[in-house]
């Protein structure tokens, strides 16, 4: 596969049953300085269901603490214009940047990277460009920059070492420019049973264009598992919790087979993927019993 940058392309384990209910997750301070005190857990679980238990340090538990803008806030594009289509039930209070970079897969990468950053696991922040070349945050922090020539990438010393959050955001913009749904799909692992989806899992179809939405929360009743899904889209826009076009609610049914119909993309249940296990979180073998 040749190298594809943003300018030259069309948008091309977590542990359940562990320690923590979403309602008890403590609010966190985020580097992007959210103005809202609403959280994802302010969206109520469906009647007869409860949010599943999660290990306290997990990606899923972190997602539950994400801030939401006030109810009724529209989705806005990177240039400040309002999205005309009404596809959401809530908007995350997370910046989208000022360039058309943080699109669908990029928003997923942003969340994963911010989680690892906040946990102090910078050595685990690394993503593949569409070319297959690896882009580690620690290389950027050391002052090295990716130099793209044709289909190849090399890293060269271009700046003084700087591991500040400002440089971290510049690193992410570089990843957004040269990664997308195609590369992210190659990095994620298939989920054996999509009906057992967990927060942090990703429905993804890698391609040019492709699309990705992330499972940001999960509730369970006696008979079914329900999911909150979030996306960015094209052009780059606020990350938002999706409305289920079939039920007109915030929640989607987890299922082993069949289609997952979102307002702007239709996935197969088997498109569900998961980030590889990380030493930044407990592994399933290490997790306590429910």
pLDDT by residue, tens only, the chain of 290 residues: 334 444 333 233 223 333 444 434 444 568 887 888 899 999 999 999 999 999 989 999 999 999 999 999 999 999 999 999 999 999 999 999 999 999 999 999 999 999 999 999 999 999 999 999 999 999 999 999 999 887 788 899 989 999 999 999 999 999 999 999 999 999 999 999 999 999 999 999 999 999 999 999 999 999 999 999 999 999 999 999 999 999 999 999 999 999 999 999 999 999 999 999 888 864 333 333 33
Which single residue is written with the structure tokens 């510049």? Answer: 170
Cis peptide before 80 (omega within 30 of 0): no
Residue 74 structure tokens: 């529209």
pLDDT of residue 150: 75
Is the distance from CB of 50 to CB of 219 less than 8 angstroms?
Answer: yes
Which sign does the torsion angle of CA 19, 24, 30, 32 carry?
positive
Q: How far apart are alpha carbons 184 and 165 in whole angstroms?
A: 23
Residue 66 structure tokens: 């994400």
Residue 196 structure tokens: 């057992």
pLDDT of residue 34: 83
Name the residue ranges covered by the structural domains of the chain: 6-12+16-274
Rounded to the nearest 10 degrees, what angle do helices 104-118 and 165-178 cross at? Answer: 150
3-state helix, strand, coil in the chain (%, to 5): 20, 25, 50
Tell me which DSSP letter residue 76 carries. Answer: B
Q: How far apart are alpha carbons 49 and 220 in whole angstroms?
A: 5
Residue 166 structure tokens: 């400002």
pLDDT of residue 281: 60
Q: Compute the CA torsion angle 274, 49, 56, 102 (nearest 10 deg).
A: 50
Residue 78 structure tokens: 């990177």
């Amino acid at each position: 596969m040749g190298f594809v940058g943003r300018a030259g392309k069309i948008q091309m384990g977590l542990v359940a049953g562990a320690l923590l209910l979403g309602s008890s997750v403590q609010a966190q301070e985020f580097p992007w300085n959210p103005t809202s005190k609403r959280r994802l857990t302010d969206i109520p679980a469906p009647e007869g269901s409860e949010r599943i238990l999660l290990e306290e340090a997990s990606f899923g538990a972190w997602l539950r603490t994400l801030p939401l803008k006030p109810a009724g806030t529209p989705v806005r594009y990177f240039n400040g214009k309002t999205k005309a289509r009404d596809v959401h039930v809530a908007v995350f209070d997370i910046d989208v940047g000022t360039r058309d970079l943080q699109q669908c897969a990029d928003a997923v990468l942003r969340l994963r990277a911010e989680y690892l950053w906040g946990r102090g696991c910078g050595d685990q922040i690394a993503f593949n460009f569409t070319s297959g070349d690896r882009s580690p945050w620690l290389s950027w922090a050391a002052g090295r920059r990716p130099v793209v020539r044709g289909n190849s990438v090399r890293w060269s010393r271009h700046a003084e070492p700087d591991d500040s959050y400002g440089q971290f955001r510049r690193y992410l913009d570089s990843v957004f420019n040269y990664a997308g749904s195609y590369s992210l799909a190659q990095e994620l692992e298939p989920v054996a049973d999509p009906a057992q989806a967990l927060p942090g899992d990703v429905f993804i179809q890698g391609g040019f264009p492709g699309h990705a939405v992330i499972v940001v929360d999960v509730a369970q009743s006696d008979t079914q598992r329900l999911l909150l899904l979030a996306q960015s889209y094209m052009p780059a826009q606020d990350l938002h919790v999706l409305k289920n076009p079939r039920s007109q609610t915030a929640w989607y049914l987890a299922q082993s087979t069949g289609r997952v119909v979102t307002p702007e993309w239709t996935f197969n249940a088997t498109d569900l993927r998961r980030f590889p296990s990380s030493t930044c979180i407990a592994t399933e073998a290490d997790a306590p019993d429910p």
